[in-house]
Structure 1
Amino acid sequence: MHPIGATFKRLDALRENPDFSASILNPPFSIIARQKGFRSLGSLVEILGSYQATALCGMRSWVNDNEDIVKRYLVAY
């Protein structure tokens, strides 16, 4: 196991390092990988079920002190 980071970095690592044999990729990177000859091992959602792909975190004290900024950020997101 090698912690690589964001999906685009994992795809780059697969392409650049033949020692890396698998990764979890989401679209459009999974599509790009197939176009480059990589084979899909299955759908993560089918294997694990639905999951939260993005999480936002903040210190409670900072969030409480910056409630307006947090609300504007969430609306924009």
Structure 2
Amino acid sequence: MSKTSNVVGAADNVDKRGSTGRPPVLDAVDEHRIVEVTCLTCGLEDQLMLEPGRTRPWEHDASNASHVVEYWRSD
């Protein structure tokens, strides 16, 4: 038989800032950039050539919210 318990608060070492929902590499919107992306969940890879002003995430990332996607700038 399991006991019911309530959790209140969080440990001191927990990052409480939360996710912005966007990878930081997409924040440099004033310049052309090449971004390599890899889905760590299913292994799909792609290269994005982003124009100035583009801040949308990779389509695979947007359509598969449960997948873990890694972004990095290659230029």
Same fold by TM-score greater than 0.5: no
- Larger relative contact order (Cα-Cα within 8 Å, sequence gap ≥ 6): 2
Please report the TM-score for the alignment, with normalisation by the length of structure 2: 0.21
Higher helix share: 1
Higher strand share: 2
